[in-house]
Structure 1
Amino acid sequence: MKQLLIFVQKEFYHVLRDKRTLLILFGMPVVQVLLFGFALSTEVKNTKIGILDQDKTQISAELISKINANQYFDVDKNLKSINQAENSFKGGEIKMILVIPQQFTENLILGKKIQLQLITDGTDINFANQIYNFMSNILMDYYGQRTLQSFSGVQPEIRMLYNPQLKGAPNFVPGVMALILLIICVLMTAVAIVREKESGTMEVLLVSPMKPSTIILAKAIPYFILSMVILISIMILSVTLLDLPIKGNLILLFLISTIFIITNLLLGILISILTDTQQVAMLISLVGTMLPTLMLSGFMFPIENMPVPLQLISNLIPAKWYYEIVKNVMIKGTGLEVIWKQTLILFAMMALLFVIAVKKFKVRLE
């Protein structure tokens, strides 16, 4: 019992004298409370939608004003044609389109059957169903429950672009790709290098004829190859088992995935440079990378639902941009003309992390 107490006391000393571990231990609950309190929201807020008004009457204008006046939707585009609507979907500018048909007002007054078409982005099936239900409730509230339920009332019609079968794979496959590549690259790279420093073999390697940059590169290459193999495996499984064909350019997807993998490898190397123990490296990797990826990348929860500060913070998450790219290329079949912005941001993050990692590594060698 006495020996147990001595070891417990020793562990307390280790924790209390390591300021970074203390920051993680006490900062992590605060961060989790904030994220779970604000990010885990199933409420639709300020979702950008487009409206194609083919009726252009006072009643249709009143309906548009009713939709725009609530906190759930933001009428971002007044569309003029179906082609314009499709381009807005591919660019990710809107999440839903409401099509008001011709003679809408006339048929409503005469009590004839009317169909208001709701077109949603089916790549995220859960969010698509959410905004459809919210829009249906607004329409029911505007025209009255009795009118909507009658045979001649207003009947919303839903269509799911890119995912007509309403499968969940188009939503979680891109997110799983981002998450797995993050874990393999960041966590494994950080722990592998720190393990060398803990065992004392890192100093032996640094005084060898090999350059320090060569040593770091040799550590990173196996995880790069492993990440590419995992990427190919995920794609094969998605096509064969999940029946999720890759609609876009496969070479483009691999090139951007390479940028994302290198970005994560550099992030893992940077963590290994700034830490001295495997425990701290693992905690920083999990809390500082995996948790924000789950919460702020748009994989699990729509970023539009989050407060503005969290939306701004999400821009610093590489997985957010990669997730958007994979959804566009793999599911929507878009090309570089649509994802150039996300690709440029991801490339800039890779370059910035490379500069920081090299600078910090040189400082540690002096």
Structure 2
Amino acid sequence: MKQFLTFVRKEFAHVLRDRKTLLILFGMPVVQILIFGFALTSEVKNSRVLIVDNANDAASQQLLTKIEASQYFEVDRSVMSPLQMEAAFREGEIKMAIVFPANFNEDLLHQNQAHVQIVTDASDPNTATSLTNYVSSIIQDYQASLNQTLSVPLRILPETRFIYNPQLKGVYNYVPGVMALVLMLVCVMMTAVSIVREKETGTMEVLLVSPFKPVLVILSKAVPYLILSLVNVGTILLMSIFVLDLPVAGNLLLLLAESTLFIITCLTLGIFISIKTSSQQVAMLISLMGMLLPTMLFSGFMFPIENMPVPLQIISNIVPSKWYYLIVKAVMIKGLGFSAIWKETLILAGMTLFLFVISLKNFKIRLA
């Protein structure tokens, strides 16, 4: 028994001296609880809603006060024309617009009913449904409060309109997300593993002493995965059009060009991982865990980013799949052109250049 306790104390000493082990034991649970606790939620909060109050009367102001008091919305009372409102939807500045007619209060008092138009961006059908339900509940509560002292009940009738996805099909949200997830995993993991395999088998040294420049050797490993990933993009698009009934609303060539840029970004990330690792297992683990979870949590296709705390929203900006997901939704679902996605394109290009430069600086011609 004494020997057993001695071995236990020795093992405790080993664990306590190893900072990496301590980080895994105690740091990982804390980080996962914080991230999953804040990110994995089906609630929709802090969604920007445009109010178009053509009535500006007592009834509309009272109802707007109730909407503003809700934690689910960030109310914007900017005066916009229908064309400006449509542009705000296209650029992703708003998730919903609530339009009050000019005679809202008069219709409610004299005709015992009034209409309110609710326009929602349904490119994410789950968010659109949640926001519509929230507003409808607030309207019903306000209507109930008015009818408490009236003999003739008043009715407020919401007229809902879902744009970009009138049928609220889930594929409108999941196809762009799956494209980002598949390309990220395939490009990063395959590139990283293939280059590290050359290190493990010893053939990388042979390649480095060949007449080709070392940079060309690395790039030649990435080109096949660029071509194969483009085949994946074509397969996904064909299936979405002919199987899932999801046509490409925008320019197909623009979508393919943006996909190519995202693939190159992922390939450079895979090259960087391969340079920093020395075994296929480590490269695969980093590629899977380091790319899968951020893509699922911080790209926006599974959990709304605006629900997350500000630090997590900032972290999401360094995830390439977030920007590609926004690009695919804008081009494929909303039918927008390059003028609407130039910022996201510039960010992806900047990430690609940054990863390529630091990969070159960290690349060692001699492996030993």
Q: Aligned-pair distance for 1:322?
A: 0.5
1:350 alignment counterpart: 352
1:107 alignment counterpart: 107
1:85 alignment counterpart: 85
Secondary structure of 2:158's match?
strand
1:199 pairs with 2:205: no
In 2, Cα distance between equivalents of 1:25 and 1:344: 39
Q: Aligned-pair distance for 1:161?
A: 0.1
Secondary structure of 2:167's match?
coil
1:95 alignment counterpart: 95
2:333 alignment counterpart: 331
**Residue identity opposite 2:250 in structure 1:** G
Secondary structure of 2:68's match?
helix
Please, which of 278, 301, 304 is the counterpart of residue 302 of structure 1? Answer: 304
CA gap 1:58/1:82 in 2 versus in 1, 3 angstroms: same
The TM-score normalised by the length of structure 2 is: 0.89
Q: Aligned-pair distance for 1:360?
A: 0.8
Q: Confirm or deny: 8 A CA contact 1:162 1:332 kept in the other structure.
A: yes
The C-alpha deviation readout for 1:260-287, integer Å capped at 9, x for no partner, is 0000000001001001111111111122
The C-alpha deviation readout for 1:302-339, integer Å capped at 9, x for no partner, is 00111111001000111101100100000000111111
1:220 alignment counterpart: 222
2:123 alignment counterpart: 123
Residues paired across the two proteins, number? 351
CA gap 1:77/1:201 in 2 versus in 1, 3 angstroms: farther
Secondary structure of 1:179's match?
helix
Secondary structure of 1:56's match?
coil
In 1, Cα distance between equivalents of 2:326 and 2:195: 31
In 2, Cα distance between equivalents of 1:79 and 1:305: 26
Secondary structure of 1:167's match?
coil
2:157 alignment counterpart: 155
In 1, Cα distance between equivalents of 2:230 and 2:268: 16
**Residue identity opposite 2:238 in structure 1:** I
**Residue identity opposite 1:156 in structure 2:** P
Secondary structure of 2:51's match?
strand
Q: Structure 1 unaligned segments of length 5 or more: list them.
A: 1-14
> In terms of mean alpha carbon deviation, does 151-160 or 225-234 score higher?
151-160
CA gap 1:224/1:147 in 2 versus in 1, 3 angstroms: farther
Q: Structure 2 unaligned segments of length 5 or more: list them.
A: 1-14
Q: Confirm or deny: 8 A CA contact 1:20 1:280 kept in the other structure.
A: no
**Residue identity opposite 2:49 in structure 1:** I
Q: Aligned-pair distance for 1:41?
A: 1.3
2:46 alignment counterpart: 46
In 1, Cα distance between equivalents of 2:231 and 2:111: 60
Q: Confirm or deny: 8 A CA contact 2:214 2:365 kept in the other structure.
A: no
The TM-score normalised by the length of structure 1 is: 0.90
CA gap 1:29/1:264 in 2 versus in 1, 3 angstroms: farther
Q: Aligned-pair distance for 1:31?
A: 3.6
Moved over 3 A (4+): 15-31, 145-148, 362-366
Q: Confirm or deny: 8 A CA contact 2:114 2:157 kept in the other structure.
A: yes
Q: Percent identity?
A: 58
Please, which of 238, 250, 253 is the counterpart of residue 251 of structure 1? Answer: 253
**Residue identity opposite 1:87 in structure 2:** A
Please, which of 155, 175, 181 is the counterpart of residue 173 of structure 1? Answer: 175
1:210 alignment counterpart: 212
> In terms of mean alpha carbon deviation, does 156-165 or 19-28 score higher?
19-28
Query: Map of 1:67-78 to 2, 5 A cutoff?
Result: 67-78=67-78
**Residue identity opposite 1:175 in structure 2:** G
1:281 pairs with 2:283: yes
CA gap 1:271/1:362 in 2 versus in 1, 3 angstroms: same
CA gap 1:204/1:77 in 2 versus in 1, 3 angstroms: farther
Q: Tell me the C-alpha RMSD between the 2 structures.
A: 2.4
Q: Aligned-pair distance for 1:145?
A: 6.8
The C-alpha deviation readout for 1:147-186, integer Å capped at 9, x for no partner, is 59x9850121211101111111110000010000001100
**Residue identity opposite 1:349 in structure 2:** M
Q: Aligned-pair distance for 1:58?
A: 2.8
CA gap 1:364/1:186 in 2 versus in 1, 3 angstroms: farther
**Residue identity opposite 1:94 in structure 2:** I
Q: Confirm or deny: 8 A CA contact 1:147 1:154 kept in the other structure.
A: no
Q: Aligned-pair distance for 1:84?
A: 1.5
